[in-house]
């Protein structure tokens, strides 16, 4: 079967497939990749595409039926609900954009077109504070010391660990439940010891969180919701 897809070139080192919220397919490629190479890559992912494209379409249709529960960036406004560590909190207008543990607030001085960037900046600040603290605590449990910990705007990964022991986490992780956040952190910390997904790697993760498969599923479900809500838009 021949798939329709768009190609996005960048300075990345490898190719990757991404199913967008409308169930269209995007191929991310290193600069200079030939169209023939891209087509061969897409064809090699036939099984994955047949499995996941219908899933995304079904989720999209279901989310449209329950659109009142979906928070799209275009609808961020006073009165809507925003996620923080797996729970929803109301958004209100106030003197400054902030989160006090009970509600989110948007600065009343902002223009509606600025709501998106203001909320994302707040999320990044909250994520940095929470995640770095949890990394320090969980690193002790595993017995490793990361070289650095940063929060970024990655679109396709909850977290990464480089061969130099540098950890990176997407700010969107702060929307996940605490159990899921801890799993991602432990997953990346375990990569300091095992830079692969071997049996020893998963044994290390399971020694901290025996239920890590359940946490993985929760993250997958959240990832699909965030994609449909267009937080990267």
Mean pLDDT of 95-103: 93
Contact (Cβ atoms closer than 8 angstroms) between residue 188 and residue 160: yes
> For 186-195, what is each residue's pLDDT tens digit?
999 999 999 8
Contact (Cβ atoms closer than 8 angstroms) between residue 38 and residue 27: yes
pLDDT at 92 over 50: yes
- DSSP-derived secondary structure letter, 3: P
Percent of the chain exceeding pLDDT 70 equals: 90
Angle between helices 115-142 and 178-193 (to 10 degrees): 50
Mean per-residue pLDDT over the chain, rounded: 87
Interacting residues of 111 by C-beta distance below 8 A, sequence separation 6+ = none
9 pairs with which residues across the strands? 29
pLDDT bucket at 45, cuts 50 / 70 / 90 = confident
Q: What is the pLDDT of residue 62?
A: 59
pLDDT bucket at 161, cuts 50 / 70 / 90 = very high
The candidate with the shortest Cα–Cα distance to 22, out of 175, 230, 220, is 230
Q: What is the pLDDT of residue 37?
A: 93
Q: Which two tokens stand for residue 159?
A: 């977290």
Least confident of 67-81, 102-116, 122-136, 150-164: 67-81
Domains and CATH numbers, the chain: 5-65 (no CATH), 73-228 (3.30.2010.10)
pTM (predicted TM-score): 0.70
Higher pLDDT, 155 or 63: 155
């Amino acid at each position: 079967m021949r798939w329709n897809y768009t190609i996005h070139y960048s300075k990345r080192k490898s190719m990757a497939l991404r199913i967008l919220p409308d169930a269209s397919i995007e191929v991310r490629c290193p600069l200079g990749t030939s169209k023939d190479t891209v087509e061969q890559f897409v064809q090699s992912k036939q099984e994955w595409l047949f499995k996941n494209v219908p899933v995304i379409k079904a989720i999209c249709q279901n989310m449209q039926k329950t659109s009142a529960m979906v928070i799209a960036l275009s609808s961020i406004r006073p009165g809507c609900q925003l996620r923080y560590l797996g729970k929803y909190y109301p958004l209100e207008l106030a003197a400054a954009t902030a989160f006090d543990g009970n509600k989110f607030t948007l600065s009343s001085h902002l223009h509606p077109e600025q709501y998106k960037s203001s909320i994302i900046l707040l999320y990044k600040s909250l994520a940095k504070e929470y995640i770095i603290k949890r990394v320090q605590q969980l690193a002790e449990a595993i017995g490793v010391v990361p070289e650095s910990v940063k929060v970024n705007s990655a679109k396709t990964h909850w977290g990464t660990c480089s061969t130099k022991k540098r950890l990176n986490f997407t700010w969107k992780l702060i929307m996940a439940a605490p159990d899921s956040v801890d799993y991602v952190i432990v997953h990346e910390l375990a990569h300091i010891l095992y830079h692969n997904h071997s049996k020893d790697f998963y044994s290390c993760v399971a020694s901290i969180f025996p239920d890590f498969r359940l946490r993985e599923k929760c993250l997958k479900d959240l990832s699909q919701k965030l994609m449909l809500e267009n937080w990267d838009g």
